[in-house]
Amino acid sequence: MQDSLDNLPYWSRDADDLMAAQGSAHDGLASAEAARRLLQHGPNAVEDRDEQTALRLLLRQFESPLVLILVFGAGVSLWLRQWVDAGIILAIVLGSALLGFAQEYRASVAIAALRRRLALTVQAWRDGAQVTIPAADVVPGDVVQLAAGSLVPADGVILEGVDFLVTEASLTGESFPVEKRPGVLPADTPLAARSNMVFLGTSVRSGTARMLVIQTGRGTEFGAIAARLKAREPETEFARGVRQFGYLLVRIMIVMVVFVLMVNQALGRPLIESLLYAVALAVGISPELLPAIVSVTLSRGARTLASRGVIVRRLEAIENLGSMDVLCTDKTGTLTEGVITLVAAVDAAGADSATVQRLAWLNAANETGIANPLDAAIVAAGERAGLQTGDAIKIDEIPYDFHRKRLTIVVAEHDAPGRHRLITKGAYAQVLDVCSSLAVDGSERALDDMQRERLDAYFRRCGEDGYRVLAVATRVLEARPTYSHADECDLCLTGFLLFSDPPKPDAARTIRNLARLGCRTKIISGDNRYVTAHLADSIGLDPQAMLTGPQIAQLTDESLWHLAERTDLFVEVDPQQKERIVHALQRTGHAVGYLGDGINDAAALHAADVGISVEGAVDVARDSADVVLLKSDLGVLRTGVEEGRRTFANTLKYISITTSANFGNMVSMALATPLLPFLPLAAKQILLNNFLSDLPSIAISTDRVDREHITRVQRWNVAEVRRFMLVFGLISSAFDLLTFFVLLKVFDVGEGLFQTSWFVVSVLTELAVVLVLRTRHVAWRSAPSRLLLGATIAVTLTALILPYIPGVAAAFSFTPPGAALLVTLLVIVLGYVVSTEVGKLLFFRRHALPQRRRHAAAPDA
């Protein structure tokens, strides 16, 4: 990263020199120049999200090995001058590809629109004014304003900074924030020590700054690392299940293909015909539209969630949302109203104190670090009381951090020349730790053990009454330019601030509703144990099932694994402990959701199976989340859980039903191959069968879902899918064998009529079984969606008519069955439907869900 004008790296050059080299100024670029640079350098992105063009999506439809095998088979047919067979195979492959492409393209457009809605923005200086622009539009030479909670949008140098701390763990691995300030460093300064620089992918912990952008996108340090590693996001539970299921199908296909090839060769059948038949047989068992079905179902779920106030940033998170059985959440704004009010400012004796309120107001009004609702409440109360800074002039600020849990402002007062006053505000225990005295009745007293016990009792009473308490302390020092953490000592406790944030009226009901969905709510909060216990008791959580931050610090990982599951409240915790709690719950087999909106939630959001944030969250929290709520409301989240389970259930429906029907047909063909003097179906007939029977499944994303699938945690279970496939596939095979018997022994049909008749039966049974097995309840009591039903009827009529259309019949070697035979075939299909219905009821009675009886009266959702 060398500047074009000389060989010095930019962290070792003066800011004014860099500004001139970049053709920029302190008030930023002109809009026209920024637009020109955007064309020159490209979007500020490490990865090209928009590379998923229509052409790439279309080509992706042909990536499947099975599709490539079919194309190879078509090539063999062309080589042998089997023009019709080759044309039919290619037409079916192309039809499946175009169908999948149409659905995936529509899904990608919908998801791109949702992502644009949540695209990160930055405050940049353009045309001399501060404006909001998309982070992707940042260009070299831009001047960007940063504040606590911001994600750094590019690599650059600090022009101005006030108490500016940045978390660089994503780049350097250092978990503690580092301070950044303007300056010039030696050229050989290593990356971790470049204190005058900020980097893409890091986040602002506290303070404010103005930066000059030098490198964007792939030119950044983060972009270089990403390009080298090509890191992939961890595999989701659902994707892992699909992969394992794919392995199962591959094993079955290999066995069947080898068996059929051996039998056909033993019977002396032509090699090419046998090979095409075996390939078609292998494809027949595969749900080749699965990628399209999954994309359609997930994108429809994402659109539905967006209409209900839940935006999905990563599609796979919908399944994770449905499988979530533990929700970890902070209390402010989700379980409480989120409107924090300063109820009282009292002295150390508990009496109302204007002095304490003024000190707290000076502290909050002059704070420039992390914006928070407590400071906003203090400032609002001070404005109502008519407070003004007067002659108190801010000298310095010691920013808040999550280890000290306190903030100090240093002011100069007109009545104390040559001296400065420290005003410290923060968590009760952390402020008392740096106090040696307290103010009572206008005089200072030593803070001895008896006084501490009295203060502890008062603090506890306030918490038990539901008040959040902050302590305020002060100290007067000889004046000097700057101050540090070391000056926070020997303070005098002046009093307390009492805040109210009542629980939401529907919080208890929402938690009960989540519990009915099998999702247990746990509070993880940095707040004190007493006020959190008071809230928990009022909303139906166990206030005794509590672990505090100091207790967690003493626990081994193994001990925390056992205790976390039985704990409802984690209180007085720091950001690292939040992440540790999430990992502990995951270690005991839970799918964990984490709801957070603050800077200190980013690590836990990333660690959770599904990270959940809100639209108004700080950038780093929102960027770490998989799901974003348009309002901080657990009721909205409950809707998201239900939709996630509905989406998961419909996806699994397609996989289970299609593979069981295909498996049954393939077993039947494998059994019939050595017993018949001809192939039970031609390769082109198998492919047409598979194509037609899959068409209605595109509509499965719109289908209704049994209520118990919504009220029960959904997990991928390959063993259950395999058991389902075997049971219902073998039922299908039994009726196929009955069909063979009737065709050969009753009607004594030849090759053409046999293949046509079984083609019709095979398609109709695969279509009918979707309507039967789509619900665990009696089929006629659970109506399918209109689109699914309409598509099924349309394809059914098509399958019945095709053998009677001369051109189609000739192309696919169909022989139209007579009326008596057609009626017999329909009776067999009806018998299959009834038998499958009975088998379904017996199967699910044996594997009944615990909630089945409870929801028998309301089967659909």
pLDDT digits 0-9 by tens, 463-481: 999 899 999 999 999 999 8
User: Is residue 5 very low, low, confident or very high in pLDDT (cuts 50, 70, 90)?
Assistant: very low
Low-confidence winner among 49-58, 115-124, 742-751, 830-839 (lowest mean pLDDT): 49-58
Q: How confident is the model at residue 522 (pLDDT cuts 50, 70, 90)?
A: very high
Share of the chain above pLDDT 70, in %: 84
Of 403, 310, 340, nearest in space to 595 by CA? 310
**pLDDT given for residue 861 in this prediction:** 44
Which range (39-43, 315-319, 567-571, 827-831) has the least confidence? 315-319
Strands 569-571, 520-524: pairing is parallel
16 is catalytic: no
Would strands 627-629 and 610-614 be described as parallel, antiparallel, or unpaired?
parallel
> Torsion angle, CA of 706/708/712/715, rounded to 10 degrees?
-40
The amino acid sitting at 146 is: L
Cα distances (Å, whole numbers) of residue 591 to 24, 49, 542, 559:
49, 28, 21, 19
Average pLDDT, the chain: 83
Which residues, listed in sequence order, are joined to residue 533 by a DSSP beta bridge?
Answer: none
- pTM of the complete model beyond 0.85: no
Rounded CA gap, 814 and 141, in Å? Answer: 70
Question: Would you give the DSSP letter of residue 680?
Answer: S
Alpha carbons 43 and 190: distance in angstroms, whole number = 28
d(CA 207, CA 463): 30
pLDDT score at 50: 46
For 425-518, where are the alpha helices, taking DSSP H only? 428-432, 449-464, 507-516
Of 581, 572, 622, nearest to 602 by C-alpha is: 622
What is the residue type of 752?
A: G
- The confidence band for 167, taking pLDDT boundaries of 50, 70 and 90, is confident
What is the pLDDT, as a whole number, of residue 677?
A: 80
Q: What is the pLDDT of residue 353?
A: 93
Q: Are 164 and 207 in contact (CB under 8 A)?
A: yes
β-strand partners of 160:
210
For residue 299 the two structure tokens come to 């994108």
Render pLDDT for 782-840 as a digit per residue (tens, 0 to 9): 889 999 999 999 999 999 999 999 989 988 889 999 999 999 999 999 999 999 999 99
Residue pair 649/714 in contact (Cβ under 8 Å)? The answer is: yes
**Does pLDDT of 234 surpass 70?**
no
pLDDT at 860 over 50: no
Tokens of 764: 């109709």
Mean pLDDT for the stretch of residues 305-320: 78
Given pLDDT bands bounded at 50, 70 and 90, which one contains residue 228? very low
Sign (positive or negative) of CA dihedral 615, 619, 620, 625: positive
Which stretches within 324-372 are classed as H helix?
A: 354-365
**What pLDDT does residue 126 have?**
92
CA-CA distance, 696 to 707, in Å (whole number)?
23
Compute the average pLDDT of residues 167-186.
Answer: 76
Calpha distance 324→307 (Å, rounded) = 21
The pLDDT, as a whole number, for residue 226 is 56
Rounded CA-CA distance 290/773 in Å is: 18
Q: Residue 781 burial (CB < 10 Å; 0-12/13-18/19+)? A: exposed
**313: number of CA atoms within 13 Å, CB side?**
19
Q: What mean pLDDT is predicted for residues 66-90? A: 69
Tell me, what's the pLDDT at 100?
62
What does the pLDDT read at residue 114? Answer: 55
pLDDT in tens, 28-49: 899 999 999 999 988 888 765 5
Picking from 647, 713, 774, the residue whose alpha carbon sits closest to that of residue 316 is 647
| The two three-digit tokens of residue 754, written as one number | 């046999």
Ranked by mean pLDDT, the top range of 240-249, 540-549, 603-612 is 540-549
Query: What is the predicted pLDDT for the residue at 81?
Result: 73
Which residue carries 């990270």 as its tokens? 611
Q: Give the distance, in angstroms, between the CA of residue 637 and the centroid of all CA atoms in the same chain.
A: 13
The predicted model gives 39-67 an average pLDDT of 69
Phi, psi of 618 (to 5 degrees): -65, 155
Q: What percent of the chain has pLDDT over 90?
A: 35
pLDDT tens, 665-711?
A: 778 877 887 777 887 887 778 778 877 887 888 788 788 888 888 88
Could you tell me the two tokens for 843? 């199967």
Give the C-alpha separation, 214 to 309, whole Å: 38
Q: What are the helix and strand counts (H, E) for the chain?
A: 30, 23
Instruction: Give residue 694's pLDDT.
Output: 79
CA max distance for the chain: 115
For helices 354-365 and 373-384, the axis angle rounded to 10 degrees is 120
The SS3 assignment for 197 reads: strand
Q: What residues does 570 pair with on adjacent strands?
A: 524, 547
DSSP calls for 98-120: HHHHHHHHHHHHHHHHHHHHT--
pLDDT of residue 585: 95
- Considering Cα of 500, then 505, then 510, then 511, what sign does the dihedral take? positive
Strands 468-478 and 491-500: antiparallel
Q: Sign of the C-alpha dihedral, residues 540, 546, 549, 552?
A: negative
DSSP result, 607-675: HSSEEEEETTS-HHHHHH-SEEESSS-HHHHHHHHHHHHHHHHHHHHHHHHHHHHHHHHHHHHHHHTTT
Q: How far apart are CA 242 and CA 239, in angstroms?
A: 5
pLDDT at 109 over 90: no
For residues 536-555, average pLDDT: 92
Average pLDDT over residues 234-254: 66
Q: Which residues of 496-534 are buried (b: 16+ CB within 10 A; e: fewer)?
A: bbbbbbebbeebeebbebbeebbbbbbbbbbbbbbbbbb
pLDDT interval class at 319 (50, 70, 90)? confident
Which one has a higher pLDDT value, 366 or 301?
A: 366
| 819 Cβ contact partners less than 8 Å away, ≥ 6 residues apart | none
Single-letter residue type at 735: F
Which one of 142, 330, 527, 694 is the catalytic residue?
Answer: 330
Residue 266's pLDDT band (boundaries 50, 70, 90)?
confident
Rounded to an integer, the average pLDDT of 248-257 is 72
Confidence (pLDDT) at 849: 45
